[in-house]
Amino acid sequence: MSVAIPGTGISHGIAIGPIHRLIDGEIEISEAAIPEELIENEVARFRRAVRVARQQLKVIRDSIPEITRADITDFIDTHLLMLEDSMLTATPVELIRERQCNAEWALKSQRDALAAVFDEMDDAYLRTRMDDVDHVVSRIQRILANEGADTQPQDSEKLRGAIVVAHDLTPAETALLHHQGIAGFVTESGGPLSHTAILARSLGLPSLVGTHFTPYQVRDGELAILDAVKGRLLTEIDADTLKKYRRRQREEIKRQSKLKRLKNDPATSADGVHVELLANVELREDVLAARRAGADGIGLYRTEFLFMNRSDIPDEEEQLQQYLSVLKALKGLPVTIRTLDLGADKNCGGEQRSDHVAPNPALGLRAIRLCLKHADLFRPQLRAILRASAKGPVRMMIPMLSSSSELDAVLALIDDVKQELQRQRLAFDLNTPIGGMIEVPAAALSASLFARRLDFLSIGTNDLIQYTLAIDRVDDEVTYLYDPLHPAVLRLIKMVIEAGRTYQIPVSMCGEMAGDTRYTRLLLGMGLSDFSVHPTALLEVKDAITRCEVARYKPLVTDILDSDDPVKIGGLLKTLNQM
């Protein structure tokens, strides 16, 4: 009987391989008195370690393949910049001289002092930047503890095909490990929105984060199975389980290559219902992945990622260049640029606007609320999106709308920005479609109010489910309540689709529910005809669509929508998916 260790699966897929434990940060650091005549030697030892750390990071950066370079190197450059900063270079030197102590102790003291400062910060995002400091400090400590080691942190041969198990991995380490051919990784800490998780998804690396177990609980070299689909690591596997997973792995490889053949086929059901199949993107590489998967365009471009992982705010020009580069990569396909959805669990370094700490950030100043309050943050983005519309098909999408007064305010602001651009003779498309995300129950219940005044709607089920069922989407304690099939959720979705039909505007779905093929028949039967999904799910959804006979599903879908009984709904869905 195998042992299953649960966690959050990041990239779809299965990895089978020997465990390779990466245990770091365990270095015992104690204070040692350094005789006066050796103080300058100790300073030189510390400086050498910093130099080696820099060299290691540069080696890592240069070893990253071109295609993934742009986004990953941002993470590595942050760490390189920290290695230039006096807080990590000059201050420890002062401490060695003042206290006449060893380099390790000086660095640890400075790290603890910085941690105290970070702890005091109100901004949740900035507080998490202490992770970066820790990553850099632990790199220097490892070098100090292991002087003379080469710049390759791990033995490449042992890593090829292995499932790496660690307390935590930095994005830089993840990139290097991927390059060294690991099959997947598991980390004790980290959530699905961490930089490492984002990177793993972009690299298509099966991974599991937040397992809350220590790497000491697994044995080095033991054959294990990482099932990122089900979110678990299987150890002590028996022959039957191994056989089953090997078969699943082979089938998956075959399935993926078959799916690729669908790339240029239209997303049309067996009975002729045409679906607009779009992609959700965050990073530049996602745009290329979307094109490789044959997406009809981008249905959700989460622009906040451009604002994260940095201490300043990108100005209008930088945003414009970014949007133009996405348009260029899309070669004429449309892009739906979502305006900033900062707040709640997504913050940026430059976004701290007041000392106020939201007691419940998901219900606080988030997304459009934050943007309307801070026009200085919002206007440059509106200008950049509109200016990009002069060069290609751009749609603008507003997240988290909840009331008509908010809609009035945002439409007035967009009009004002348009007039300003006209006065400045800056080109833009006057008819840029403006759409809204329906992710608050109040907005779904009054969807016609939004449908009447907007050019399109998009259902954000991730938040719609969170707010309808009152469960924090980032709290794993309540994940079990997250249910797209809850009768209340289904009825709200139906209301939004109906409102779109009444006012003859397109309605898409861009939440995770759209990318889950268990719901494809149900959603098509409910009348949804635009789906926006992560590029890795796109061909799978297309495959499901082409097998559908939508008209035949209508009676069963009506039964599902009429039911209040979750068990019955589950049973009916099963029947629907077997039809």
Catalytic residues, by residue number, are 195, 510
Nearest approach, Cβ of 6 to ligand PEP (angstroms)?
A: 22
Residue 329 · residue 289 · CB < 8 Å = no
- Minimum CB separation of residue 343 from Mg ion in Å reads 11
- The nearest distance, CB 539 to ligand PEP, in angstroms, is 20
Candidates 127-135, 240-248, 406-414, 463-471; binding stretch for Mg ion (CB under 5 A): 463-471
* Binding region for ligand PEP (CB under 6 A) out of 28-36, 239-247, 250-258, 456-464: 456-464
Pairwise CA distance, residues 253 & 13, whole Å: 10
- Under the criterion CB under 5 A, does residue 436 sit at the interface with Mg ion? no
In angstroms, give the least distance from the CB of 293 to ligand PEP.
18
Residue 92 binding result from Mg ion, ligand PEP, none, given CB thresholds of 5 to 8 Å by partner type: none
Interacting residues with ligand PEP between 230 and 259 (CB under 6 A)? none
Query: How large is the greatest C-alpha to C-alpha distance in the chain, in angstroms?
Result: 88
510 binds, among Mg ion, ligand PEP, none (CB under 5 to 8 A by kind): ligand PEP
For residue 449 the two structure tokens come to 């109010």
Which letter does DSSP use for residue 180 in this model? T
Closest CA to 198 of 291, 306, 277: 306
If the CB atoms of residues 460 and 484 are measured against Mg ion, the closer one turns out to be 460
Q: Which residues of 142-163 are buried (b: 16+ CB within 10 A; e: fewer)?
A: bbbeeeeeeeebbeeeebeebb
Q: Is 511 a binder of ligand PEP (CB under 6 A)? A: yes
Enumerate residues 265-294 that contact ligand PEP by CB under 6 A.
Answer: none
Q: Is 343 in the site for Mg ion (CB under 5 A)?
A: no
How many residues are listed for the chain in this entry?
579
463 near Mg ion, rule: CB under 5 A: yes
Q: Which of 9, 81, 78, 94 is nearest to 43 (CA)?
A: 94
Sheet holding 232-235, edge to edge: 3-6, 232-235, 223-227, 14-22, 163-166, 184-187, 207-209, 8-9
| SS percent in the chain: helix, strand, coil, step 5 | 55, 15, 35
* Residue 426-445 contact track with ligand PEP, rule CB under 6 A, x = bound: -------------x------
Shortest Å distance, C-beta 436 to Mg ion: 12
Listed ranges 82-90, 174-182, 373-381, 461-469: which one lies at the site for ligand PEP (CB under 6 A): 461-469
Minimum CB–partner distance for residue 466 and ligand PEP (Å): 8
Q: Does 206 bind Mg ion (CB under 5 A)?
A: no
Does residue 534 touch ligand PEP according to CB under 6 A?
no
Q: Does 188 bind ligand PEP (CB under 6 A)?
A: no
Residue/partner pairs of 190-193 with CB below 8 Å, 24 or more apart? 191/8, 191/474, 192/8, 192/10, 193/345, 193/346, 193/474
Count of residues in contact with Mg ion, rule CB under 5 A: 3
CB proximity list for 550: less than 8 A, separation 6 or greater: 269, 271, 273, 521, 524, 525
Please, are residues 319 and 286 in contact by the beta-carbon 8 Å criterion? no
Using CB under 5 A, list all residues that contact Mg ion: 439, 460, 463
Using CB under 6 A, list all residues that contact ligand PEP: 300, 302, 341, 439, 460-463, 510-511
